[in-house]
Structure 1
Amino acid sequence: MRLNNFLFLAYAFTAAAISIPQLETRKDKHGDSKPKPCKGNTAHKRTKWCDYDINTDYTTTVPNTGVTREYWLSIDEMTAAPDGISRPVMAINGTIPGPTIHANWGDHVVIHVTNHLHESMNGTSIHWHGIRQNYTNQNDGVVSITQCPTAPGSTITYKWRAAQYGSSWYHSHIGLQAWEGVFGGIIINGPASKNYDVDKGMLFLNDWSHQTADQLFSHAQTIGPPTLDTGLINGTNKYNESGSYFTMRANKGESYRLRVVNAAIDTHWKFMIDNHKLTVIAMDLVPIKPYTVEYINIGMGQRYDVIVTADQPKARNHWIRAIPQTDCSENHNVDNIRGILHYHGKIGTPETSPWLFDDICLDESMSNLVPVVSKNVEEADWQALTDVTVGRNNKNLFRWYLNSTTMQVAWEEPTLKQIYEGTTDWEDSSGVIELPNADEWVYLLINTTMPISHPIHLHGHDFFILSQGIGAWDGTTVTSNPPRRDTALLESTGHLLMAWQTDNPGAWLAHCHIGWHTAEGFALQFVERYEEAKELIDWDYVNENCESWNAYDGEFDIEQDDSGV
């Protein structure tokens, strides 16, 4: 797509040399700047992290640990019964969710991913959601953008730096595999904005159906989003009398950090624990000033780190609830997607009641989401408009449109391959927006008049939220330390005004994180600093994976029936 086919603004305020930025590595109190792993922090000093703390600007300063964390992931087909009902799934290392990737702030991470999807003859990829991939674009793991699909029998190796800290997740970024079970957690240890006693790790919220997502895609394309059967908390739940609840043990008086992820295909959740308030300390991979609520609103692709304290004097068993918001999510099991928080060792059936709430699909209030490390946004002469619509293609299938464009890209011709080969004339259906200059501000305003909310995810950047809400944008903005994150909600019949800087060369996808909508073309890509992005491409790495896929495709004639991402 040529620049003038898309209404957005980019302003240059500073200039930068063409070079890979070197993140500052501070010397310690003894004047030593050699690699040194951090031993971490304690329950009473969570804001500290060796020679760093919660106020350190992690966008410019990263510990030099000298540590490389290496993982091996295997993707395979299997039969599983997460809620007691058996169905075909795809799993990583035999589990749903897959294993959690652990690293410390500043570590280097190497992950080898092997595709064993021989029966379904599926290519695959893994995207490291929220990891900025600063100058490592080819490791972003998005088919048709940064790589070809990894063929069955092949292994691809991803390498990236844990330059941020907090909670995230990884998932396949081809078709609907992420919602067949190809996902897992990422924990990058670092400082926190509030003390707590114990880190309980990842807590995944998934919607779930007894048919596969691929089987339901035809319904989504021809009729609309299907009503899903139920949901899972950390890969388990009860359905009728089958299955089992997720359980979490607590000791009275202790506080626990939960890293909550919405990994659903099409469900916006209210997450709560009966009788217990939640203190929110981070959104996505951005530490924030703590605030306390009875429940959190969490959209698809978002993460919130929360602290819960076992402070109830009488009842020993309390429901943990993931409640689909029927205002935008269809589920047959709305009232029974639950787990149990139990004090000490004995587990009983809770008799507790949920917090009162309004059934509506909203983000957490912008006024609560205050980043600890303060950053401001330059003012601009706002003019940009980007409309979201839905229509049918020439096969009478639903497709989503951003500014009259629905994405349709080819697995075998990823954007990075085209950049390396010198492509400059992009097909409109590729959704390319070119951002050629370094360190410009980009402002993107997305509007919708449709009564459907959409979680918008940007790769390669955290973006600032300057305005968000129901109805048309009224011209007001928050530019003094606004919320910044990688996934935010475009509310029903509402608007989302985003801003970020062109500080990371590469091809970066922006898309709705509703699985059906991504597959139906609700996406754009930003080709940022083309010439520098070209210089960063490891051609052998990209080409070897593509050659392997093309050989497999040539033998089995694999059909692509979605947007390509």
Structure 2
Amino acid sequence: MFGLRADILCYASAMMLRIGADGMVIEHFWTIEPVEYTMEGLFTRTAIGINGQWPIPGIEATIGDTLVIHATNKLNEPTSLHSHGLFQNGTVFYDGAYMVSECGIAPNSSFTYRIPLQQAGTYWIHSHSKQQSTDGLRTSLVIRDPREQYEFDEEIILTLQDWFRQPAHEMLKQFRSPDPRVRFTPAVPYGIIGGECANRKRILFKPNRTYRLRLINIGSSFDFHFSIASHVLRLIEVDGVLVCERLTHGVTVGVGQRASVLVTALNSTDHNYEFRADMYTDLLQMPRYNPLNYTGVVQYSEEASLKSDTCERWLCINDLDLEPLDGELALEPTTFISLDAYSGVFSDQTFRHSFNNHSYAPPKIPTALTALSMATQERAYDPAVYGPQTNAYVLRHMDVVQITLTNHDYYSHPFHLHGHTFQIIEVGSLRSRQSKLSMNSPVRRDTFVLKGGHYAILRFRADNPGVWLFHCHINWHIDLGLAMTFVEAPELIPKVPEMLRENCIAQGIPTGGSNEQDNEPTPYTDQFESYDPPSGWKLVSYFLNGNYDTIEE
């Protein structure tokens, strides 16, 4: 298999992926504050930056290191930092989920995240408070493995993000409207690739060298499709999980997803080549702007002429055709949960999303603190103590959980699980009743894009005591309620850092107790939307995503 070391078979030992020498402490001091950012002379708006800078520089480390971020909040509201994709084994209180694992960092206060890096791969860091990620509090996190399984000469990190003219709170107010004419007014973003305006990005190649491109969608609502004219991509990683190499013409990266591809440069400098990073969504009706076609240049020489692709079809790999490099077989489930995603107008006259008619809202006490305090009263396994709006499911240690996930909306949702990766076992259509099964060794991801009118079967092992969100990673959708909570082995949740308690006390938030008295809005069931689109609706992602690659290996 080209690109794989000869002494390592496809099904390499999972242990080898986690071995690392005694690591270093990678320490960062971040002041989280408003920053004025000008989009290539087009417009200026306030972003949330770090130390006066935006876009925010990425973090790089090695497996076995300890990442320490001293975060000081200079915003006028609480903030938090979530390391997307990291399991946080034994460090659930550094997961950064606002009012789930922490109270948030109070304004003019600080908090230190101290995270042992036990995984190698491609990840990212973003705020998990309100819409702060949409407003720019997001960047890449790359953790390297000294014992790389695949060979390459150089790597390039490409963050992919949508960037809107409007502040996020204004857009969220629009999306809450019960009036679909207001709710679906198009909001057209700009593309930023690797920290630069997408159409101006240049990637430098040298002939015959092999490059690892790490593609990270750190945006808020748009997917990206990436390809390079006249070059074949070799997919080797998704969401931090190494996979058996697959050749492809292009890679689709949903919101929150990551992918690594190997690209071997051509042997001539006669031409430069166009790369495409096209943005698209099926959330909004935007006939002129969907997809948004962004192109940059893979540059071999400053003087060379430019070649572009003439093929307009998007080709990509189906998740169910991927196999993890460690060869883990499908898990045998012991616990079964059904989650039905709907959207519609609720009793508070706002448009909301829900799982099983529960529209998520942050509780008054962080769920992890409730779990700890209820464990001493032997009530931690009672879902009621976490409040109806958290839609909590309590799991016993080492349960194997099967989620049957059904998307009743007519648009896609990128679903993300904190603290774990899940196996993708089966995906099918509600309308046609056609389905596709995974291989014996199903791929694992932490973020999976489920199309409207489709279902998926996912499995994971509850081997990480803590409280973990499962939610749509379109930022508007989690704020509109498309989230739920797994409370995992509450009696084994580790001790709370004292600095976390101090941030709770500074905001008047209790550090323990029940949330069962919290109220939640209820749905008007006759106003639910379905996967049948409104008359005249133009869906694009179904046919754009539906062409799977046919490259022969």
Partner residue of 1:498? Answer: 458
1:284-323 matches, within 5 Å, as 284-311=239-266, 313=268, 316-323=271-278
1:353 aligns with 2:306: no
1:133 to 1:270, Cα distance in 2 relative to 1, 3 A: same
Residue number among 339, 350, 353 corresponding to 2:296 in the alignment: 339
Deviation per CA, 1:340-362, whole angstroms, max 9, x where unpaired? 21113x27784523543259xxx
Alpha-carbon distance in structure 1 between the residues aligned to 2:481 and 2:16? 32
Deviation per CA, 1:91-143, whole angstroms, max 9, x where unpaired? 123333322222111222211111122xxx12110000000001211110010
Alpha-carbon distance in structure 2 between the residues aligned to 1:48 and 1:71? 38
More displaced stretch, 151-160 vs 58-67: 58-67
1:99 aligns with 2:35: no
Partner residue of 1:32? Answer: none
SS at structure 1 position matched to 2:176: helix
Partner residue of 1:399? Answer: 352
The letter of the residue matching 2:245 is: P
The letter of the residue matching 1:307 is: L
Alpha-carbon distance in structure 2 between the residues aligned to 1:173 and 1:348? 44
1:448 to 1:260, Cα distance in 2 relative to 1, 3 A: same
SS at structure 2 position matched to 1:99: coil
Given that residues 35 and 53 in structure 2 are in contact (C-alpha distance below 8 angstroms), is that contact kept between their aligned partners in structure 1?
no
1:259 to 1:475, Cα distance in 2 relative to 1, 3 A: closer
Matched residues, number: 492
The letter of the residue matching 2:57 is: P
1:542-557 matches, within 5 Å, as 542-550=500-508
1:440 aligns with 2:399: yes
Identity of aligned residues (%): 28
Partner residue of 1:184? Answer: 139
1:256 to 1:66, Cα distance in 2 relative to 1, 3 A: closer
More displaced stretch, 207-216 vs 472-481: 472-481
1:541 aligns with 2:499: yes
Alpha-carbon distance in structure 2 between the residues aligned to 1:250 and 1:187? 21
Partner residue of 1:165? Answer: 120
Given that residues 23 and 62 in structure 2 are in contact (C-alpha distance below 8 angstroms), is that contact kept between their aligned partners in structure 1?
no
Given that residues 269 and 300 in structure 2 are in contact (C-alpha distance below 8 angstroms), is that contact kept between their aligned partners in structure 1?
no
SS at structure 2 position matched to 1:199: strand
1:61-460 matches, within 5 Å, as 61-84=18-41, 85-117=43-75, 121-190=76-145, 191-200=147-156, 202-222=157-177, 223-225=182-184, 226-237=186-197, 245-311=200-266, 313=268, 316-328=271-283, 332=289, 334-344=291-301, 346=302, 350=306, 352-353=308-309, 355-358=311-314, 364-380=317-333, 384-410=337-363, 413-422=365-374, 424=380, 425-435=385-395, 437-460=396-419
SS at structure 1 position matched to 2:14: coil
Partner residue of 1:557? Answer: none
Alpha-carbon distance in structure 1 between the residues aligned to 2:272 and 2:426? 40
Deviation at 1:149, TM superposition (A): 1.6
1:427 to 1:327, Cα distance in 2 relative to 1, 3 A: closer
Give me the TM-score of the superposition, normalised by structure 2.
Answer: 0.82
Deviation per CA, 1:397-429, whole angstroms, max 9, x where unpaired? 21101111110123x521122223326422111
Given that residues 508 and 527 in structure 1 are in contact (C-alpha distance below 8 angstroms), is that contact kept between their aligned partners in structure 2?
yes
Given that residues 267 and 329 in structure 1 are in contact (C-alpha distance below 8 angstroms), is that contact kept between their aligned partners in structure 2?
no
Deviation at 1:460, TM superposition (A): 0.4
Alpha-carbon distance in structure 2 between the residues aligned to 1:550 and 1:47? 59
The letter of the residue matching 1:445 is: T
Alpha-carbon distance in structure 2 between the residues aligned to 1:485 and 1:214? 30
Residue number among 471, 489, 495 corresponding to 1:529 in the alignment: 489
The letter of the residue matching 1:218 is: K
Alpha-carbon distance in structure 2 between the residues aligned to 1:429 and 1:47? 52
Given that residues 320 and 424 in structure 2 are in contact (C-alpha distance below 8 angstroms), is that contact kept between their aligned partners in structure 1?
no
Partner residue of 1:9? Answer: none
Deviation at 1:315, TM superposition (A): 5.3
Alpha-carbon distance in structure 2 between the residues aligned to 1:186 and 1:480? 31
Deviation at 1:82, TM superposition (A): 3.0
Deviation at 1:314, TM superposition (A): 6.4
The letter of the residue matching 1:371 is: P
Alpha-carbon distance in structure 2 between the residues aligned to 1:159 and 1:500? 26
Given that residues 58 and 164 in structure 1 are in contact (C-alpha distance below 8 angstroms), is that contact kept between their aligned partners in structure 2?
no
In structure 2, stretches of 5+ residues that fail to align are 510-519, 522-553
SS at structure 1 position matched to 2:105: coil
Alpha-carbon distance in structure 2 between the residues aligned to 1:60 and 1:440? 24
The letter of the residue matching 1:88 is: T
Partner residue of 2:533? Answer: none
SS at structure 1 position matched to 2:133: helix
The letter of the residue matching 1:365 is: N
Alpha-carbon distance in structure 1 between the residues aligned to 2:45 and 2:305? 28
The letter of the residue matching 1:197 is: D
1:113 to 1:478, Cα distance in 2 relative to 1, 3 A: same
More displaced stretch, 61-70 vs 274-283: 61-70
SS at structure 1 position matched to 2:52: coil
Alpha-carbon distance in structure 2 between the residues aligned to 1:153 and 1:339? 41
The letter of the residue matching 1:139 is: Y
Given that residues 226 and 250 in structure 2 are in contact (C-alpha distance below 8 angstroms), is that contact kept between their aligned partners in structure 1?
yes
Instruction: Please provide the CA RMSD for this pair.
Output: 3.0
Give me the TM-score of the superposition, normalised by structure 1.
Answer: 0.80
The letter of the residue matching 1:90 is: I
SS at structure 2 position matched to 1:421: helix
1:145 to 1:281, Cα distance in 2 relative to 1, 3 A: same
In structure 1, stretches of 5+ residues that fail to align are 1-42, 239-243, 552-561
1:59 to 1:532, Cα distance in 2 relative to 1, 3 A: farther
SS at structure 2 position matched to 1:543: helix
SS at structure 2 position matched to 1:177: coil
SS at structure 2 position matched to 1:178: coil
Deviation per CA, 1:184-204, whole angstroms, max 9, x where unpaired? 11111114443211112x211
